Structure 1
């Protein structure tokens, strides 16, 4: 049977993980991420129904979406620290249970205030899942697969968004919007029960589990410093968040855009929007694979690729929203979204390689914090408020310009990248249990 070494920072600490089991861990963790985003994005498919039934403004609708991302941003670091300390597997299962029950609460909401509270709790449940989940995934695969794994795993968010909007729209058209939320909740509850039964902490990190009882209270202080160990990592956080302002906003508002400017019914708008989001998910994977292939012997290309993805998506989406509604516009939107989230893989690989294994959950939580506080939380809300003033079409024409700011941040990273490599390549960090040292590499 083939084995993967665990992708810890120190090869001497690596533990053999059976390849079939590693892919089972990936599949189940990926499945829960899909459930996460199905519960989050099903709301977008029923925006028109909620707007009509409760007489809501675009700003109120944007807040229902943005509150989830806001809570993810605020809570991801503290909850990820708890997961790193007390066990990632059981933490993931508890998160899934909470967001699924909260999604069920959305189905039972009787007014805007109740829906807001339920969405608030969805955000609490989902707060640390992405960061802790990817930490679990990269721990059972080789280090050289990190960009591919990060982009493929995070693409689960796109696929979950696709299913959430497409299935949510179809269910809402036939059974009503409440059943859309209920269906997503039941799927999440099923996976939440299965996950801890199949995925065991002792199997994915046996040495870490055995050493946990011996760690001192200050054991993670030095590894925590690696979260902000270089200007390149800080720029990766910021640039990734700014770029997701664009992709996240288009995902949230696309069903409403199609409903208003293409006169599509809820189910059809959800289906077409799902295709656009699918393009983004596929592009995320392809861009991550391209990053691993091109950057194995030239790591600075990661930053150059991130800049190219930002500027390319800005050009394509700006051209798309300058055109009238029609097939050409939809094609350009699909092409723009294909590369809009392409920075996910390079940024994830950089964060993983420049932080200590023991705090990878917290490292990805920091990346998630930036993604949500700079992109996913303010994007839908700001766009909704702008839409109330000048219309959704005009608001969409402004959104792609944020990618220019993201490209500028990545250019700053590129200016300092070689210097950071020279400094970090030889830097050595004591292992938290004092048994080994590790070399930080890009």
Structure 2
């Protein structure tokens, strides 16, 4: 097992950038990720207001949430591939401007159809930000921090969701739901401007690793030579799939928790959004701590990444199944908090798995495939499936069923763990021979 961990460390030599530079890149890229998810989850805070004003069904509400994740899933791969070739920083800035302008479009929508189109373009803008942003972050840090960085960076999604829900609920209660969308759009545009000034392609290029040949900095990438590399191992396929299935649970909770608190706890929009934001904050803290714990536990035994992912899936399943079997009350809320702490915990381990099983030159594209699985299998399907179930059996009963997806994720991680050591050895072999 220790030999396998050593192979992980040799797949990518330590960068030569300064610690201050690395963390400044992380902070700014993380800040834009916050804005990304603030724009995405402003909608869920105002679900009750839209439902009342436009007389929408739960299926329609779920579709307004799922359309963003659907576009992210469909477009993450091609847009990340373009970013690897065109320039990651330029791509990140363009994405932020697009999703912010589309969020302004949500603010002026007159009906469900217009809102759906605007949300579609929010998804287009956000499609590749997570994959390209994480690739930029991973490029300036050493390999042994990958699970921590993957979990911590992607926790920006939870923190952004939390800020978006809480702030939007307050703004909507005082100024109406249109201003909630407008506020998130302004935040995104301001942060995109700051990123444009501070982070540039030239600064990133000047901090490339000294042992990475310049000829490999921007390789010729085609689908013919890319696809076999992205799916070169059985382990990485199970990592993609397990992560996506697990996030079906996370996507459902993020989308429907404010509505659940309003319907079953009788809370006003601002109060429900604020409490939902606290739960999402718990989710973000769990992503960071689970990633850090995974790095510590698996430092000398690489397959333990898979063991930790399995443990996080099972822990979220048990907590949430018990929670939604209980009537509304303090005990239910406590168990929901425990479940949400673990539900995104698989992001750190799976991010590290994907990075370790693919070459650094295509990390943005590899992470895009991971994001595609996360969005199509999880974040897109979860909210709309829950909405369809809620229209038929009620929201509480729908949320009783959705956590069972975590068991499917755990089974996929169990299978992937069997192949991980041999796949790492096979991937590292050509490099060692050269």
Residue 391 (structure 1) aligned to one of 375, 394, 412: 394
Residue 236 (structure 1) aligned to one of 229, 236, 239: 239
**Structure 1 pair 256–216 and aligned structure 2 pair: CA distance change class (3 A):** closer
- Residues 15, 141 of structure 2: 8 Å contact kept: no
Q: What CA distance in whole angstroms lies between the structure 1 residues aligned with 2:423 and 2:29?
A: 33
In structure 1, what is the equivalent of residue 121 of structure 2?
121
Q: What CA distance in whole angstroms lies between the structure 2 residues aligned with 1:53 and 1:267?
A: 17
Matches within 5 A, 1:133-148: 133-148=133-148
Q: Does 1:326 align with 2:329?
A: yes
Matches within 5 A, 1:1-400: 9-11=11-13, 16-206=16-206, 211=214, 217=220, 222=225, 225-400=228-403
- Residues 139, 204 of structure 1: 8 Å contact kept: no
Q: What CA distance in whole angstroms lies between the structure 1 residues aligned with 2:303 and 2:10?
A: 22
- Residues 41, 252 of structure 1: 8 Å contact kept: yes
Q: Once the two structures are superposed, what CA deviation does each residue of 1:131-177 show, in whole Å capped at 9, x if it has no partner?
A: 00000001111111110000000000000000000000011001100
- Residues 220, 359 of structure 1: 8 Å contact kept: no
**Structure 1 pair 15–308 and aligned structure 2 pair: CA distance change class (3 A):** closer
- Residues 85, 218 of structure 2: 8 Å contact kept: no
**Structure 1 pair 55–427 and aligned structure 2 pair: CA distance change class (3 A):** same
Task: Say which SS state the counterpart of residue 17 (structure 1) adopts.
Answer: coil
- Residues 39, 181 of structure 2: 8 Å contact kept: yes
Select between 26-35 and 219-228 the one with higher mean Cα deviation. Answer: 219-228
What's the TM-score once normalised by structure 1's chain length? 0.92
**Structure 1 pair 403–173 and aligned structure 2 pair: CA distance change class (3 A):** same
Q: What CA distance in whole angstroms lies between the structure 1 residues aligned with 2:214 and 2:423?
A: 32
> What is the deviation of 1:194?
1.3
- Residues 223, 358 of structure 1: 8 Å contact kept: no
Q: What CA distance in whole angstroms lies between the structure 1 residues aligned with 2:193 and 2:80?
A: 21
> What is the deviation of 1:226?
2.5
- Residues 41, 161 of structure 2: 8 Å contact kept: yes
Residue 413 (structure 1) aligned to one of 398, 416, 424: 416
Which portions of structure 1, spanning 4 or more consecutive aligned residues, are displaced by more than 6 angstroms? none
**Structure 1 pair 309–117 and aligned structure 2 pair: CA distance change class (3 A):** same
> What is the deviation of 1:227?
1.2
Structure 2: 5+ residue stretches without partners: 1-8
Task: Say which SS state the counterpart of residue 17 (structure 2) adopts.
Answer: strand
**Structure 1 pair 416–221 and aligned structure 2 pair: CA distance change class (3 A):** same
Structure 1: 5+ residue stretches without partners: 1-6, 431-436, 438-442
Task: Say which SS state the counterpart of residue 345 (structure 2) adopts.
Answer: coil
- Residues 131, 364 of structure 1: 8 Å contact kept: yes
Task: Say which SS state the counterpart of residue 428 (structure 1) adopts.
Answer: helix
- Residues 241, 373 of structure 1: 8 Å contact kept: yes
> What is the deviation of 1:224?
5.0
Q: What CA distance in whole angstroms lies between the structure 2 residues aligned with 1:30 and 1:274?
A: 18
- Residues 104, 181 of structure 1: 8 Å contact kept: yes
> What is the deviation of 1:222?
4.5
Q: What CA distance in whole angstroms lies between the structure 2 residues aligned with 1:322 and 1:89?
A: 47
Q: What CA distance in whole angstroms lies between the structure 1 residues aligned with 2:44 and 2:293?
A: 31
What's the TM-score once normalised by structure 2's chain length? 0.94
In structure 2, what is the equivalent of residue 4 of structure 1?
none
> What is the deviation of 1:38?
0.2
Q: What CA distance in whole angstroms lies between the structure 2 residues aligned with 1:145 and 1:71?
A: 30
Q: Once the two structures are superposed, what CA deviation does each residue of 1:378-419 show, in whole Å capped at 9, x if it has no partner?
A: 100010000000000000000000111111111111222333
Q: Once the two structures are superposed, what CA deviation does each residue of 1:239-263 show, in whole Å capped at 9, x if it has no partner?
A: 0000000011111100000000000
**Structure 1 pair 215–183 and aligned structure 2 pair: CA distance change class (3 A):** closer
Q: What CA distance in whole angstroms lies between the structure 1 residues aligned with 2:76 and 2:364?
A: 9
Q: What CA distance in whole angstroms lies between the structure 2 residues aligned with 1:15 and 1:348?
A: 19
Q: Once the two structures are superposed, what CA deviation does each residue of 1:27-69 show, in whole Å capped at 9, x if it has no partner?
A: 1100000000000001000000000000000000000000000
Q: What CA distance in whole angstroms lies between the structure 1 residues aligned with 2:120 and 2:215?
A: 33
**Structure 1 pair 8–56 and aligned structure 2 pair: CA distance change class (3 A):** farther
